[in-house]
Amino acid sequence: MPPLKKGAEVEIQIESLAYGAEGVGRVDGYVVFVERGLPGQRVKARILRAKKSHTRAKILQVLEQSPDYVPPICRHFPDCGGCSIQHLQYDKQLEAKTTQVRDILQRLGGFENPPVAPALPSPKPFFYRNKMEFTFGDRRWLTRNEIESQAEFANTDFALGLHARHHFEKVIAIEQCYLQSEQSNAILNRVSKFVAASPLRPYTTRDHSGFWRFLVIREGKNTGDCMVNLVTADAGSTGEEEVQKLATELRLHFPELTTIVHTINRLKAQVATGQESRVLHGLGF
């Protein structure tokens, strides 16, 4: 029997970061992995799953904040699954990565004192990615902040964004993502506006109906090229016409786009690839 049971509420002092960016603490010597926990935090947490050797917990309240905490820049954090430790100072993120590499080499590799160089910082910690995949959903999953705001959301039967953390069936509507460029955000919002008004519905895994599946944006950071890939189900000529309308609108508002591709995925697997691709603008892949 594990010393802590599921549902129990405990106070935990977070000591370090585990691989995967979970905080690590101990209760009477028993290891507890705390989602979104930061070293230096003292938290009240609820046990989610309990095993003989360790357990996992969710923060209910931060009783004492970490000195390394920084306010997350993105309003979708921490509900969005795109970022893990945006609320930790960047230099401390690098230190944690260096420590994790050293620990892995010691525990799994058997090296007593491996010579691990410090993790190199990125010259651009935000807006750095050259590819993002956004998912269409027929239900908008509201974040905790959105629910607590008591604001009214008119269109909850549509979302274009990223998956909620640990919930691949739930889509958070994203308006601004700090992983890719501002141009990508503008494209994202233009596509979202078009598809929200489209007569064709987003694809759903509940009964595998619907049309719109993924929006993929790829940028060449050195070349300046930008590609949009619209991944859909197969709706025959009706779907092709709707995608062509969207492609025309994108070319009108974003003349810098170098390639637009339409990919058709006829399978049930939720992946941003398909069995057929058509180049609507530019040279293609």
Final residue in a domain of this structure, among 64, 83, 98:
64
Cα 17 to Cα 22, 23, 54, 237, 269: the distances in Å are 6, 5, 15, 52, 33
User: HSE on the CB side for 127, CA within 13 Å?
Assistant: 9
Secondary structure of residue 15 in the 3-state scheme: strand
Is residue 18 domain-resident? yes
Model pLDDT for residues 179-233, shown as the tens digit of each residue: 999 999 999 999 999 999 999 999 998 899 999 999 999 999 889 999 999 999 9
- Is residue 23 located within the same domain as residue 151? no
Tokens of residue 196, six digits: 């929200």
Tokens of residue 223, six digits: 């070349």
Backbone angles phi, psi at 54, to 5 degrees: -165, 175
Tokens of residue 134, six digits: 């956004």
Cβ burial, residue 133 (10 Å; 0-12/13-18/19+): middle
Model pLDDT for residues 19-67, shown as the tens digit of each residue: 888 999 999 888 999 999 999 999 999 999 888 888 999 999 999 999 9
pTM above 0.85, yes or no: yes
Is residue 141 domain-resident? yes
273: domain CATH number? 2.40.50.1070
Neighbours of 36 (CB within 10 A): 21
Is residue 266 domain-resident? yes
Q: What range defines the domain where residue 184 resides?
A: 131-282
Three-state SS string over 164-231 comes to: ECCEEEEEEECCCCCCCCHHHHHHHHHHHHHHHCCCCCECECCCCECCEEEEEEEECCCCCCEEEEEE
Model pLDDT for residues 141-176, shown as the tens digit of each residue: 777 777 667 677 767 789 999 998 877 788 999 999
When divided into structural domains, the chain yields a total of 2
- Is residue 17 located within the same domain as residue 141? no
Secondary structure of residue 247 in the 3-state scheme: helix
Tokens of residue 72, six digits: 């997350």
